[in-house]
Amino acid sequence: MEDNKIEEIVAIALSETESSDNSDQLQEIRNRYLSKKSELMSLMSNLGELSIEKRKEFGQKLNAAKAKISEVINAKQEELKKRELAARLAKEEIDISLPSYQTLPGGKNPFHVIIDEMTDIFLGMGFEVEDGPEVEQDLYNFELLNIPHDHPARDMQDTFYISDSLLLRTHTSPVQAHAMEKAQGKPVRIICPGKTYRRDDDDATHSHQFGQIEGLVIDKNINIGHLKATLELFAKKMFGEKREIRLRPSYFPFTEPSVEVDITCANCDGKGCSMCKGTGYIEVLGGGMVHPNVLKMNGYDPEEYSGFAFGIGIERVAILRYGIDDIRKFYQNDVRFLHQYRKKA
């Protein structure tokens, strides 16, 4: 009688399993037929009344029944899992014919727009573009530019040191020394745009990272007139034909004489306004004739060769060109700022 009961339970369990159509329902069937409180297990309580042989036989039947139900439920579970996955994939299918979100086309940071423009102007004058390392040796950043270890000019160019002799370059001027080393005593006419670093508190006009374009010309019979003509042409091409330049005496350890170069204010045409603080001029760069010590240290005879050099602040030119009021904007990657220069690029 009990044997029939087992077969009956198995038959019902299999039929319920067969007709179940979701995982939750299947789990409920599993609990109902295989848990400790299931009907099958309750038959166990009658085992005590049976003879040893019968008990063994009945036990085996019971176990076989449980195994059968479990096997069928597991198979069904696999089948349901596959079916449910297929249904989910079908539901989540992406309709690639829908219009996409609108994305703005990218553009160059004004920093690079200005580098490209300045580079074009100097290429037109016969300069070549050089590159140099941003992680630089003290030797190139200072020593070979006539700034020995105890020179006070180092105070203004404190930087980020990697080791005692390795640092983030404080200006693009070390490329002068690299270019002279490479030229092996031959004439040089190069510019080098790039990033530079200094220990500085960041505010509207200071940034620990900024850009410069270095220029260097070395040849026989180069004089300060060449420097002035080159920079005048640059100023007119960059800021307009009406711009004029003025050279003021200055000091840099690697040039002698050294000059600070101002251009007439584009806002007031040199008459004096708030932008140029009433002077009519705006300072844009430093330069001068290459110091004889620098020529000597880098393999040139100052009796035979002379040269001029200059360094232009990239953000400074961009700020004047576009009326940008804060140097930090170049580095914040705010798309609202960057987007304005896309059209100009």
Question: Exactly one of 140, 142, 210, 252 binds ligand DAH (CB under 6 A); which one?
Answer: 252
Question: Exactly one of 311, 317, 319, 327 binds ligand DAH (CB under 6 A); which one?
Answer: 311
Whether residue 282 contacts residue 276, with contact meaning beta carbons closer than 8 Å, is answered with yes
CB of 267 to ligand DAH, least distance (A): 25
For helices 110-124 and 314-322, give the axis angle rounded to 10 degrees.
Answer: 100
Is residue 291 at the binding interface for ligand DAH, with CB under 6 A as the rule? no
CA 145: distance to chain centroid? 31
**Whose structure tokens read 């109902």?**
32
CA distances, 256 to each of 144, 155, 253, 292, 311 (Å): 15, 20, 8, 8, 15
Q: Are strands 245-252 and 281-290 parallel, antiparallel or unpaired?
A: unpaired
Identity of the residue, 29 or 312, whose beta carbon is nearer to ligand DAH in the bound complex: 312
Is residue 255 at the binding interface for ligand DAH, with CB under 6 A as the rule? yes
Identity of the residue, 73 or 177, whose beta carbon is nearer to ligand DAH in the bound complex: 177
CA distances, 316 to each of 14, 22, 35, 115, 148 (Å): 83, 69, 79, 12, 28
CA 326: distance to chain centroid? 21
Identity of the residue, 263 or 309, whose beta carbon is nearer to ligand DAH in the bound complex: 309
Is residue 287 at the binding interface for ligand DAH, with CB under 6 A as the rule? yes
CB of 157 to ligand DAH, least distance (A): 7
Closest residue to bound ligand DAH by CB: 311
Identity of the residue, 171 or 243, whose beta carbon is nearer to ligand DAH in the bound complex: 171
- Of 312, 122, 322, which is closest to residue 234 (Cα–Cα)? 122
With left for phi above 0 and alpha for psi between -120 and 50, is residue 253 left, alpha or beta?
alpha
| Contact region with ligand DAH (CB under 6 A), list: 130-138, 274-282, 284-292, 315-323 | 284-292
Is residue 262 at the binding interface for ligand DAH, with CB under 6 A as the rule? no
CB of 321 to ligand DAH, least distance (A): 19
> x/- string (CB under 6 A) for ligand DAH, residues 153-182?
------------------x-x---------
Longest dimension (CA), the chain: 124
Is residue 211 at the binding interface for ligand DAH, with CB under 6 A as the rule? no
CB of 287 to ligand DAH, least distance (A): 4
Q: How many CA atoms lie within 13 A of 291 on its CB side?
A: 19
- Of 139, 127, 145, 143, which is closest to residue 219 (Cα–Cα)? 127
Question: Exactly one of 309, 314, 317, 318 binds ligand DAH (CB under 6 A); which one?
Answer: 309
Distance CA 146, CA 217 (A): 18
| Contact region with ligand DAH (CB under 6 A), list: 88-96, 147-155, 232-240, 304-312 | 304-312
| Contact region with ligand DAH (CB under 6 A), list: 29-37, 45-53, 116-124, 281-289 | 281-289
What is the contact surface with ligand DAH in residues (CB under 6 A)?
171, 173, 214, 252, 255, 286-288, 309-311
